[in-house]
A and B are shown apart, each in its own frame.
Chain A
Amino acid sequence: MSATDILICSLPAGIINRPPAAPALLKACVEQAGFSCRTQDLSLDLYVNHCNKNFELYQKINRVFEPTTQFNMFPELSEWLDQCIKTFKLISPRFIGLSVFSAHQHRATVMLAEVIRQHLPNTKIIVGGYGLYQDLFAEKLKQQNLADYYIFDEGENKLVNILQGQPIDDTPVDLQDLPVPNFDNYQLDNYLWHNEPVLTITGSKGCVRSCTFCNVPGKFGRYRRRTGSHIAQEIIELQHRYGVNKFEFTDSLVNGSQRDFIELIECLSAHNKNQPNPVTWYGQYICRPQSQVKPGTHQLLKESGCINLIIGAESGSDDILAAMNKKQTVKDIMAELNQFELHGLQAQLLMLCGFYNETEKRFLETLKFIAGLQRYIAAGVVTKICMGFPLMIEQDEYLHQHADELGIVIDPNNISNWKVRDDPQNTWLERLRRRMIVQAVLDRMNMPLNGNSILELHTMLDQIKSYEQQLRSPDTKINTRVNNIQPH
Chain B
Amino acid sequence: MEITATVTQANNDWPHVIVCINETEIYNDKQDRIHIKYSGSVDDPYLNLTVELLNKTTNHTVVDSNGNILENQHVLLESIIVNGVDLVRTRLIHRVGDYRMHLDEIKKQHFKNLGIDIGPTTSLSMYENGVWKIQLQQPVLSYLSALQAKIEPWEQGNWQYLSEEIYKTIEICKQLEGRRL
Which A residues form the contact surface with B (CB < 8 A)?
15-17, 55, 59, 192, 194, 374-375, 377-380, 383, 429, 432-433, 436, 439-440, 443-451, 453-454, 457-458, 460-461, 464-465, 467-468, 471-472, 487-488
B106 within 8 A of A: no
B150 partner, pick from A16, A55, A448, A461, beta carbons under 8 A: A448
- Are B85's CB and A375's CB within 8 A? yes
B43 within 8 A of A: no
B166 partner, pick from A451, A453, A461, A487, beta carbons under 8 A: A461
- 17 more CB-based (< 8 A) A-B contacts, given A378-B142, A467-B173: A55-B153, A194-B153, A377-B148, A379-B144, A433-B167, A436-B170, A440-B163, A443-B160, A446-B145, A447-B145, A448-B155, A457-B159, A461-B166, A471-B177, A471-B180, A487-B177, A487-B180
Smallest CB separation, B124 vs chain A (Å): 17
In chain B, residues 139-176, which have Cβ atoms closer than 8 Å to a Cβ of chain A? 140-146, 148-155, 157, 159-160, 162-163, 165-167, 169-170, 172-174, 176
Complex-state Cα separation, A487 to B146, whole angstroms: 40
B41 within 8 A of A: no
B83 within 8 A of A: yes
**What are 29 of the A-B contact pairs (CB < 8 Å)?**
A17-B152, A55-B153, A59-B154, A192-B153, A194-B153, A374-B145, A375-B85, A377-B148, A378-B145, A378-B148, A379-B84, A379-B85, A379-B144, A379-B148, A380-B90, A383-B148, A433-B167, A433-B170, A436-B166, A436-B170, A451-B154, A453-B159, A454-B159, A461-B166, A464-B166, A465-B169, A468-B172, A472-B176, A487-B180
- Are A454's CB and B155's CB within 8 A? yes
B2 within 8 A of A: no
B86 within 8 A of A: yes
Complex-state Cα separation, A464 to B153, whole angstroms: 28
Residues on B with beta carbons closer than 8 Å to the beta carbon of A467: 173
Q: Which of A379, A433, A436, A447 has the most CB of B within 10 A?
A: A379
A464 partner, pick from B141, B160, B169, beta carbons under 8 A: B169
A458 partner, pick from B145, B162, B173, B174, beta carbons under 8 A: B162
In chain B, residues 69-101, which have Cβ atoms closer than 8 Å to a Cβ of chain A? 83-86, 90, 92
- Are A17's CB and B150's CB within 8 A? no
Smallest CB separation, A434 vs chain B (Å): 10
Q: Which of A375, A436, A461 has the most CB of B within 10 A?
A: A436
Complex-state Cα separation, A454 to B154, whole angstroms: 10
Complex-state Cα separation, A16 to B83, whole angstroms: 39
Residues on A with beta carbons closer than 8 Å to the beta carbon of B145: 374, 377-378, 445-447
A432 partner, pick from B86, B141, B166, beta carbons under 8 A: B166
Residues on B with beta carbons closer than 8 Å to the beta carbon of A379: 84-86, 90, 144, 148
Complex-state Cα separation, A429 to B181, whole angstroms: 15
Residues on A with beta carbons closer than 8 Å to the beta carbon of B85: 375, 378-379
Smallest CB separation, A44 vs chain B (Å): 13
Give the bracket for the number of chain B residues in contact with chain A.
35 or more
- Are B177's CB and A451's CB within 8 A? no
* In the complex, residue of chain A having the shortest beta-carbon distance to the beta carbon of B175: A471
Residues on A with beta carbons closer than 8 Å to the beta carbon of B84: 375, 379
Residues on A with beta carbons closer than 8 Å to the beta carbon of B141: 374-375, 377-378, 445
* In the complex, residue of chain A having the shortest beta-carbon distance to the beta carbon of B82: A378
Residues on B with beta carbons closer than 8 Å to the beta carbon of A450: 152, 155
Given contact pairs A17-B154, A378-B85, A449 touches B159 in the complex (Cβ within 8 A): yes
Residues on A with beta carbons closer than 8 Å to the beta carbon of B144: 378-379
Residues on B with beta carbons closer than 8 Å to the beta carbon of A461: 162, 165-166, 169
* In the complex, residue of chain A having the shortest beta-carbon distance to the beta carbon of B158: A454
Residues on A with beta carbons closer than 8 Å to the beta carbon of B174: 429
* In the complex, residue of chain B having the shortest beta-carbon distance to the beta carbon of A380: B148
Complex-state Cα separation, A170 to B105, whole angstroms: 83
Smallest CB separation, A485 vs chain B (Å): 9
Per CB-CB distance, the 8 closest pairs between chain A and chain B, nearest first, are A378-B144, A446-B146, A471-B176, A446-B145, A457-B162, A377-B145, A375-B84, A451-B154
* In the complex, residue of chain B having the shortest beta-carbon distance to the beta carbon of A384: B150
Complex-state Cα separation, A107 to B153, whole angstroms: 26
In chain B, residues 7-54, which have Cβ atoms closer than 8 Å to a Cβ of chain A? none
Smallest CB separation, A92 vs chain B (Å): 34
* In the complex, residue of chain A having the shortest beta-carbon distance to the beta carbon of B174: A429
Residues on A with beta carbons closer than 8 Å to the beta carbon of B166: 432, 436, 457, 460-461, 464
Smallest CB separation, B90 vs chain A (Å): 5
* In the complex, residue of chain B having the shortest beta-carbon distance to the beta carbon of A308: B150
Residues on B with beta carbons closer than 8 Å to the beta carbon of A444: 142
Residues on B with beta carbons closer than 8 Å to the beta carbon of A378: 83, 85, 140-142, 144-145, 148
- Are A468's CB and B160's CB within 8 A? no
Smallest CB separation, B111 vs chain A (Å): 34
- Are B142's CB and A445's CB within 8 A? yes
Complex-state Cα separation, A457 to B153, whole angstroms: 18
Smallest CB separation, B112 vs chain A (Å): 36
Smallest CB separation, A123 vs chain B (Å): 33
